[in-house]
Chains A and B, each alone.
Chain A
Amino acid sequence: MEKTTRTLGLFLMILSIASETSDSLVEALESTQSYDYTKYHPMDEIYGWMEDVERGNPELVSSAVYGHTYERRNITLLKFGLENPEGREKKVIWVDCGIHAREWIAPAFCQWFVKEIVHSYKTNKKLEQMLQNLDVYVTPVINVDGYVFTWANDSTRLWRKSRSTPPAGSSCHGVDLNRNFNANWGTVGVSFDSCANNYCGKSAGSEPEAQAVMDVVGGMINRTLCFLTIHSAGQLVLLPYGHPEISAPNYDELVSVGEAAAAEMKKLHGMGYTVGTSPQILYPNSGSSRDWARLVGIPFSYTFELRDKGEFSHLLPEEQIQPACEEAYAGALSIISHVHDKAFNSGTLPNAAVSGVALMIFSTIISVFVTTGVFV
């Protein structure tokens, strides 16, 4: 009798945990489904949304805080991946947004990118296969302090840099984080005046936000296939390097993959994106995250400069969030698919299909269990 009671108690406890977990999961899923991806969101909403995405998709998503901003805020990424059926080592794709505070369409794109993955990975066989081979790391906002500052009032909206305190003798805050990375730091396209908008900081990697990226990516360089950093504006796909006299060894391939991405982007809404190095199509610069990534050996590294070409510049209307993100997603996916297929010699689809069936049976069993739990 006692043993039966204990077993029953244990059974009921397991069912109630499952019920609570499923309630929390359902709640998180509903929350991410009602989240408006066609509006700009303040940072506290983005933090909350990241939690919901993780909680609502535990089989796909995990999060990590990998550093802190100058003002001690969390720098958080979401990691997307599925188990590899053969237990092979996963390769890495890195996507970051919001290095420059005023470029609001960039964090909006990272959120859109996440939504697309979450909503389509179960029905898109190619995406599912890629997620079995790749871990995709997405940081919606790198320069959290700067982004928060742009939301403070009307006069702060066009802030670009971080919010580090002025160096001695200056009254100007902030460092241009995309000039602070350890890649030909301080050589071209920078200012050493702390009041300038392209101030590169006091030394390479002096800023916690830049150092955080270098630390976390630095720990997985050998596995990283692709580094995408998202900015606005200008409608450009920039390849390394920012220095006019240094060429990446795989320049030709970077150009052709970039051109293929731009072609995909143009198909959607007719918007042209120009492909080239920064010194060719924009201006020389040094210390960018894109350059750092290529320099440490990540073969594919691009800066995306999203819409528009000057009519609204950084103040891109919310009505354009959807088309801008759709085309950027097409471009990003084009590059990610190329690097994936190059690394994995696509053709493993039959295996994925078999394990896909097994996964489906397994998840059906789980959902029956969970449903039963809810009823109790």
Chain B
Amino acid sequence: MATGELNPNHYPARRAAKVVQHYLNTHYGSPFRLFGLHNVQSGNAEDVADSGRKYQLEISVQEIISNTTENCSAEVLFLRGDQQHSPQVQVSCAELLKSNTAAQEEALFQKYKMNQSLLSAQNLPDSYGHIEPDNKPLWHLGIVASSSVMLKESTENTLFNMAQVAHITQLATENEQLKFDCHILLHEMVSQEIIHWKLLFTWSPPEGVKVLQMEQLPHCHHCEKPPNTN
């Protein structure tokens, strides 16, 4: 494994940088704020005693919805050991994480709260890459929720993206949160596999997205339809 100064175009730095994207979406993502890795400017890797490997990165991150890009510094620690550990991430960006989407989030939250019927959507995006405008916030919520899975599952040998929200359904709640059940498809680039996960999560503007339960679904090789989660 590469140690010392890394070529920013090569995959070790890029895989570590992708983990930073998942971290940002997990902790700062919302229906109106989503982050994408734009570029890696420089990187450095070093072994950490017996525990793992630490990457230091200078990257540019794009906030996709407002289309603003900013440079950030980050550290990613991949832990080794018998137990599967999530990578540990620290990141600092000057302006990018300062929220100005509060009003939009509150408006959407109230709109969903006041709906007579529970929301439901599938195949976001569809086979043609299309998402109905009304369903875009649900797609964004799916990306944020799946980012916690992708963060948890990431190693130096993986590169995750969310391929599709196969199904997302709003569930009734008694409290102030909105609650959703979803089936998402992740694309893992190195193995080129599509991995199915079922997630239960809540969302409110003050709390953000909180994943309550996550479960990997078995890959059904001989069946054509994904396992029925409803």
Binding site for B on A (CB under 8 A): 39-40, 150-158, 160, 171-172, 176, 195-198, 234, 272, 274, 276, 280-283, 309-320
Residue on B nearest A179 in the bound complex, by CB: B192
CB distance from B36 to the nearest CB of A (A): 6
What separation, in Å, do the CA atoms of A234 and B224 have in the docked complex? 27
- Provide the B149-176 mask, 1 if CB < 8 A to any CB of A, else 0: 0000000000001011000000000000
Cβ of A155 and Cβ of B11 under 8 Å apart?
no
Closest to B14 in A: A281
- Shortest CB-to-CB span from B138 to chain A, Å, is 16
Contact in complex: B130, A282 (CB < 8 Å): no
Please give the distance in Å from B186's CB to the nearest CB on chain A: 10
Q: 9 closest Cβ contacts across the A-B interface?
A: A317-B129, A310-B161, A171-B222, A197-B192, A172-B221, A315-B129, A157-B127, A155-B225, A315-B125
Contact flag A313-B163 (CB < 8 Å), given A156-B224, A197-B192, A281-B9: yes
Chain B residue numbers with a CB within 8 Å of A172 are 221-222
Q: Is the interface of A mostly helix, strand, loop or mixed?
A: loop
- Tell me whether A318 and B130 are in contact (CB under 8 A): yes
Residues of B within 8 A of A195 (CB): 219, 221
Q: Hey, which chain B residues are within 8 Å of A319, CB to CB? A: 129
Contacts of B9 on A, CB cut-off 8 Å?
A: 274, 276, 280-281
A319 to B128, CA, bound (A): 10
Distance from A91 Cβ to chain B, minimum over Cβ atoms (Å): 32
At the interface, yes or no: B39 with Cβ under 8 Å from chain A? yes
- Checking B10, B18, B187, B224 against A281 with a beta-carbon cut-off of 8 angstroms, the contacting residue is B10
Inter-chain contact A155/B164, CB cutoff 8 Å: no
**Cβ of A156: which chain B residues have Cβ within 8 Å of it?**
224
Show the binding face of B for A, using Cβ within 8 Å. 7, 9-11, 14, 18, 36-37, 39, 64, 122-123, 125-130, 161, 163-164, 185, 187, 189-194, 219, 221-222, 224-226
Q: A312 touching B129 by the CB < 8 A rule?
A: yes
Check A315–B36 contact: CB distance below 8 A: no
- In the bound complex, how far is the Cα of B126 from the Cα of A311, in angstroms? 14
Q: Are A272 and B193 in contact (CB under 8 A)?
A: no
Residues of A near B130 (CB, < 8 A) are 317-318
Contact A317 B224 (CB under 8 A): no
| Whole-angstrom CA separation of A319 from B226 in the bound complex | 28
- Beta-carbon contact of B224 and A155 below 8 Å: yes
Q: Find out whether the CB atom of B37 lies under 8 angstroms from the CB atom of A309.
A: yes
Interface contact B185-A158, CB-CB below 8 Å: yes
18 contacts between A and B (CB under 8 A): A39-B128, A152-B224, A153-B224, A153-B225, A154-B123, A157-B127, A171-B221, A196-B191, A196-B193, A283-B11, A283-B190, A309-B36, A309-B37, A310-B18, A312-B125, A315-B164, A317-B129, A319-B129
Separation of A282 and B123 alpha carbons in the complex (Å): 28
A313–B185 Cα distance when bound, in Å, is 12
Q: Establish whether residues A318 and B129, one from each chain, have CB atoms under 8 Å apart when the complex forms.
A: yes
Q: Chain A residues near B14: list those with CB within 8 A.
A: 281
Closest-by-CB residue of B relative to A194 is: B221
Docked pose: A329 CA to B193 CA in angstroms: 29
Contact of A198 with B191 in the complex, beta carbons under 8 Å: yes
Closest CB in chain A relative to B30 CB, distance in Å: 16
Chain A minimum-CB-distance residue to B21: A310
**Residues in A whose Cβ lies below 8 Å from that of B123:** 154
Which chain B residues border A234 with CB–CB below 8 Å?
189
Residue of A176, A195, A312, A320 ringed by the most chain B CB atoms within 10 A: A312
B125, A272: Cβ atoms closer than 8 Å: no
User: Least Cβ distance of B5 to chain A in Å?
Assistant: 15
CA distance A81 to B221 in the complex (A): 44
Chain A residues near B128 (CB-CB < 8 A): 39-40, 315, 317-318
Residue of B nearest to A234 (CB): B189
| Given A154-B126, A234-B189, A309-B36, also A280-B7 (CB < 8 A) | yes
Given known contacts A158-B194, A171-B222, A196-B193, is B11 in contact with A316 (CB within 8 Å)? no
CB-CB under 8 A from B192, the residues of chain A are: 160, 176, 197-198
